[in-house]
A and B are shown apart, each in its own frame.
Chain A
Amino acid sequence: MKFGVIRFPGSCDEVDALLACERHGEAEILWHGDRDLKGVDAVVVPGGFSYGDYLRVGAIAQFSPVMEAVAEFARDGGPVLGICNGFQVLCEAGLLPGALLPNTELRFICRQVDVEVVNADTPFTDACEVGQALSIPVKHTTGRYYAPDDQLAIMEAGGQVVFRYAEDHNPNGSANGIAGVCSPERNVVGLMPHPEHAVDPLTGSADGNCLFASMAASTDRAAA
């Protein structure tokens, strides 16, 4: 299988995401100015500060040519994973519900946290167990997940909450401790923690591998 990792001007973690994907399949960078997704099986929208995040985080990237193609890819059921700034971009693009607001402490926080898998029935979690705790770092200033109460209730009931911070690990004041969500069709997943920075015990943890392994396995199954 092949992952595509988008590079916007201001992306910072795209090479990290590429390295993580390459542990589980082929991977290549997709340039923000190209509409061509080069036949990839899954798209990763990486972390960083796309376009400097000077307007509102993730707000500009949604208008890039590559994101038009990603929106179409997602509408056709293609798996898309947004990490940190990528999550923010997918929310701004309307591919995921809710929004990310400034952390309650209004500061950048870089910290290893425990994240619980809530829904193991998405292309990025189906190799995980429900209730499994993953040790994954967060690093962001604008990661407080927000959605109106009625929408939160629909998401909770509909399995759209994919990851939740473990008790006392919510670093940013996210509603319901939500760390990651999916689209109603479950093919688009976004999360604030960085699984691409948790793929090697040498650099802190290997728990993030299960997201990329899930993706690779489900694609291989589909191909078989």
Chain B
Amino acid sequence: MSDSATAPDLRNEAVALGLTIPEYELICSKIGRPPNGLELAVFSLMWSEHCAYKHSKKLLGQLPTEGPYLLMGPGENAGAVDIGDGLAIAFKVESHNHPSAVEPFQGAATGVGGIMRDIFAVGARPIAVLDSLRFGELDSQRSRYLLDGAVSGIGHYGNSIGVGTVGGEVYFEGPYEQNCLVNAMCLGIAPHDRLTRSAAAGVGNHLVLMGARTGRDGIGGASVLASAELDTDDADKRPTVQIGDPFEEKKVMEACLELLDRELLASLQDLGAAGLSSSSSEMASKGEVGLDIDVSKVPLREADMEPFEVMVSESQERMLAVVEPAQLAAVQDVCERWEVRCTVIGEVTDTRHLRVFDGDELVGDMPVDALVDDCPLYDLAPAEPESQIYPAPKRTLSSDDPKEILLALLGSSNLSSRRPLFEQYDCMVQSRTVRRPEATDAAVLQLAHDTGGTAAIAVSIDGNGRRVACDPYWGTVEAVLECASNLACVGAEPLGLTNCLNFGNPEKPHIAWQLSRSVEGMSDALRQLGVPVVGGNVSLYNQSGDGPIYPTPVVGMVGKLPDASRAGQLGFAEDGHTIAMVGTSRPSLAGSELAKLRGEELPTSLEPIDVAKVRAHQEVVREAVRSGEVASAHDIAEGGLLVAIAEACLAGDIGATIDFDTLAGGAPTPGYAEIEPYLFGEAVGGFVVSGTREAIDRLAERIPIDVLGTVGGHALTVGGSGNGVSWELAELERACAALAEAFV
């Protein structure tokens, strides 16, 4: 240990590690002396935005975290909800944006690996992954490189470990050019009594490190990458990106689940950002104990690593467990059987300090409270900008002809078929997937092998950044409602939500305003839906010289339905069925996909939404799907009504005939100009459903609907009094296949 009298002042190093001078001075006062190099490295990570949420913690407190199905809320590695039959679903979404911008394949792969560890750390077997991706426009070489790398990386990790990627979303917008977003969500299943918390307990118990050796990869990742703006020249940050090994993780996962099944562990925690430093101090903090760690016992990949490097390394596929001495031999047996490394590296103490030893030498001594609880929290200074801060998108469509507009929308990067992506992912392993991607708005996973019953869960992930850029409050309300609408379309009731808040630099007033308004919108929408937040993640500083990303709150919602065999589908089902629109949305072209193609400026507000009414519509659609009354249901989202109808035709491989005249509020023989906002405008809360005429009539008794037309034929025909237009299904399909070209 450095003697405090002679300890060098490390304030310049502190600044280089991302701390401020007042933060450095606070650390000195908390430990009663200047920190040595190791301690400073650990503090800089623990007090980074990524670990301490110092700019967002106060805001996040307003989100609802109570609900009838909630079993485990924010604060654990993942939250969990009750799905009946003594089973729980644990789930969480997390970002790996900055690593993916530096090295997309490994960045995305380790994002998937990291979120899976969060899930099995709480004792749940991972059963599905979804991902939410944002890149710059596809005409940029960099965006194509990042897209290809990220998709390959997600597939590489998820496919190899035997967890299906069952859904997700991707958008391409200019503001993500320098700062792509890679958010990964994982769901796991567990019996209630296997749900595990991470609090360390039992003075004298062993601290056991399991899994991969520790190397120099990812050193300082949390502070260097996740908590500062990226510059265009990021090649020198590449050593801070971790390298993933899904085979190692698969073995570690199987070993951990068996250890928890046999009740051999007192607690379990994954090693993520800030490695051993954060996992150990968080376990100690939750358990109100201290921990002694001997870095000389940690199995290393490179022999000459410094103690501080061992403490901050972000090497992947490692877990930290607390084990009672009497159980150690049994733990070692299980690990040996799964060929997983398992090493005692320390013990639980009553000191409330994290003490780091290198053999016999004490090389670091930090109060746990100072590391975990004493990072200063900052108030945001939000200020609404006077005008729209994002430039208008580039104009790519000049036509006013509805025939060309629909083809352009279906062929646009944001709306075209995602098949070229999801075909690179295993969506069926574990035999749960009853609805594959693009068959429904939400993935549906059966539980028959777990419960013997018919129940299923559904999951969807959403977040349209451009809409939030138009209006952070109502744009975020839309994201939450769209997620719930997706669940309604398969017949599922929402149980809980996880979020990942991707924003720019919160120290800038207009970003602080976006963040505050967005969290308010999410909070209000969730309260009105009665859905709690079970956990999540914040990714700030997604900003470069070209400006901030679109504010992008990504929400993932998990729901439940009673009968997997009655899960809804989005495609039209049968010749002669009646098509109707449910929900009296007021679609507007402002901020729509069509406005984007036309290069229009983003508006500075969106239409307010009657959330209670949307919720009521969702409930009616949900019941109509569950009862089998409607044969198809699809929520009207990006691109508007006609895109939704075209998607229902393509998914069902059957045409439709739509009558204009019922639209535009029943105006007599409307012209195309009056109709355009109804065909291509956007607003949340609308659904396209189909079914027998009698079923649609019965639905109309419960909810306002507009009958639009009839299913049948091999073309989509939209006709009214005197003006009609028609598309062959093959023509729509060709337009929709546009994204394939990005993977050639």
Residues of A within 8 A of B (CB): 9-13, 15-16, 19, 48-49, 51-54, 107-111, 137, 139, 194, 196-197, 200, 202-204
Contacts and interface: CB of A to CB of B under 8 A. Distances in A.
Contacts of B251: 9-10
Contacts of B246: 49, 52
Contacts of A107: 152, 424, 743
B160 interface: yes
A31 to B, nearest CB: 9
Contact of B446 (A48, A109, A111, A203): A203
B425 A52 contact: no
B155 A108 contact: yes
A202 B564 contact: yes
A203 B429 contact: no
Interface residues of B, number: 34
B599 interface: no
Contact of B422 (A13, A48, A51, A110): A110
Interface string B149-165: 00010011001111000
A52 B159 CA distance: 11
B247 interface: yes
A9 B428 contact: no
A203 B431 contact: yes
A70 B161 CA distance: 25
A197 B428 contact: yes
B430 interface: yes
B435 to A, nearest CB: 9
A42 B137 CA distance: 53
B506 to A, nearest CB: 38
Nearest to A54: B247
A139 B159 contact: yes
Contacts of A111: 423
Contact of A49 (B247, B339, B564): B247
Contacts of A11: 162
Given A108-B155, A110-B425, A202-B565, A16 B338 contact: no
A139 B426 CA distance: 6
Nearest to B446: A202
Contacts of A139: 159, 426, 428-429
A63 B564 CA distance: 42
A105 B126 CA distance: 29
B428 A110 contact: yes
A9 B250 contact: yes
Nearest to B439: A204
Interface string B247-261: 110110000000000
A10 B433 contact: no
Contacts of B177: none
Q: Is the interface of A mostly helix, strand, loop or mixed?
A: mixed
B247 A10 contact: yes
Given A12-B429, A16-B429, A110-B422, A49 B434 contact: no
B160 A52 contact: yes
B436 interface: yes
8 nearest A-B pairs in the assembled complex, by CB-CB distance: A52-B247, A12-B162, A49-B160, A16-B431, A139-B426, A108-B424, A197-B428, A108-B155
Nearest to B436: A204
Given A197-B431, A203-B431, A204-B436, A13 B162 contact: yes
A144 B207 CA distance: 47
Interface string B422-460: 111111111111101000000000100100000000000
Nearest to B250: A10
A200 B152 CA distance: 29
Contacts of A197: 428-429, 431
A16 B159 CA distance: 14
A52 to B, nearest CB: 3
B245 interface: yes
**Most A-side CB within 10 Å, residue of B339, B426, B564, B743:** B426
Contact of B161 (A12, A19, A54, A109): A12
B249 to A, nearest CB: 10
A58 B246 CA distance: 16
Nearest to A12: B162
A9 B429 contact: no
**Most B-side CB within 10 Å, residue of A16, A111, A200:** A16
B217 to A, nearest CB: 17
A121 to B, nearest CB: 29
Contact of B338 (A9, A51, A194, A196): A9
Contact of B427 (A52, A110, A202): A110
Interface in B400-442: 422-434, 436
Contacts of B429: 12-13, 16, 139, 197
Contacts of A16: 429-431
B430 A15 contact: yes
A19 B431 CA distance: 9
Contacts of A200: 431
Contacts of A13: 162, 429
A203 B433 contact: yes
A15 B431 contact: yes
B425 A108 contact: yes
**Most A-side CB within 10 Å, residue of B152, B159, B161:** B159
Interface string B61-78: 000000000000000000
B160 A110 contact: no
10 contacts: A9-B251, A12-B159, A12-B250, A108-B424, A109-B424, A111-B423, A139-B159, A139-B429, A197-B428, A202-B434
Interface string B523-555: 000000000000000000000000000000000
**Most B-side CB within 10 Å, residue of A10, A53, A109:** A10
B300 to A, nearest CB: 21
A49 B251 CA distance: 12
B108 to A, nearest CB: 14
Contacts of B152: 107
A109 B423 contact: yes
A200 B432 CA distance: 11
Contacts of B162: 11-13, 48
Contacts of B160: 10, 12, 49, 52-53
Nearest to B337: A33
Interface in B553-589: 564-565
Contacts of B338: 9
**Most A-side CB within 10 Å, residue of B152, B162, B339:** B162
Contacts of B426: 12, 108, 110, 139
Nearest to B433: A203
A53 B338 CA distance: 17
A203 B423 contact: no
B247 A108 contact: no
